[in-house]
Copies of this chain bind each other. A is one copy, B any other.
Amino acid sequence: MNILIVHAHPEPQSFCSAMKDLAVATLSDAGHSVQVSDLYAMNWNPVASAADFNEPSNRDYLVYALEQRHAHAKGTLAADISAELDKLLAADLLIFNFPMFWCSVPAILKGWIDRVLLSGVCYGGLRFYDRGGLSGKRALLSFTLGAQPHMFADEQAIHGELEPMLRHLQRGTLAYAGLSVLPPFAAYHVPYITPQARSSILADYREHLELLDRLEPLNFPTMAGFDRQLNPLPREELV
């Protein structure tokens, strides 16, 4: 497999960065080809703007998604976006490795999503979910957080369940673009735990990565369940 790890932590000595290093080692040892986009090290620009298009189709009024399509067709996308898109399209597995900031990805990684998941390539028209532009590829969120597992245990927990908190990423982003989303790896309580507990999380993460092929992807809608206006079809109309 070709694997792309998009990593977004500002501290190279952090536990989150150790998770990235472990993933590179474990997946390379298993015979995969692994690339890392270390967004902080690359000084990645996260801001989607008119500057992303060298020869915009409309200089007077920016419609970002339309300019993405135009620039892709003409080969006039900003070089930093093109380079990441090439890595993404070559990948069979995409891993986002990050510290949870405000129940989501850090802005630098959100800006990778905003700029690289190109309209017309990764999604567009009725090409989303199982018909998304990235279908056939898999994705995995792997992240650190300060909270403990019981705080996301169920809807009565202080923060409710983890799935809805991550829905914008796993469903609204990855699954939407066609990726098959594997169960996430959450490294809980990281700032507060002993070195021994950290080692044990790394061992768990290694196992998660070694068993990737046995992980059942999460369930998301399939387009066959909806009409062209995206209303759910009555069950009897489904084949």
Contacts and interface: CB of A to CB of B under 8 A. Distances in A.
Given A62-B10, A165-B172, A168-B168, A47 B49 contact: no
A164 B108 CA distance: 23
Given A11-B62, A172-B102, A107 B165 contact: no
Given A11-B61, A101-B110, A103-B172, 19 more contacts: A10-B50, A10-B62, A40-B47, A40-B49, A47-B108, A48-B101, A48-B107, A102-B114, A102-B117, A102-B176, A103-B171, A103-B176, A107-B107, A129-B158, A158-B221, A164-B167, A165-B171, A165-B172, A168-B168
Contact of A63 (B46, B171, B172, B191): B191
B160 A171 contact: yes
Contacts of A231: 150
Contacts of A81: none
Interface string A169-185: 00111001000000000
Interface in A141-177: 148, 150-151, 156-160, 163-168, 171-173, 176
A226 B114 contact: no
Contacts of A232: 156-158
A82 interface: no
Interface residues of A, number: 54
A103 B173 contact: yes
A231 B154 CA distance: 11
A150 B230 contact: yes
A114 B106 contact: yes
The copy count of this chain in the complex is 2
A105 to B, nearest CB: 8
Contacts of A14: 62
Contacts of A108: 46-48, 107, 111
A13 interface: yes
A34 interface: no
Nearest to A174: B102
Interface string A212-224: 0000000001000
Given A150-B230, A158-B230, A168 B103 contact: yes
19 contacts: A10-B48, A10-B49, A13-B61, A46-B46, A46-B47, A46-B107, A47-B107, A48-B107, A104-B104, A107-B108, A107-B113, A110-B111, A150-B230, A158-B232, A164-B167, A165-B168, A165-B171, A165-B172, A166-B168
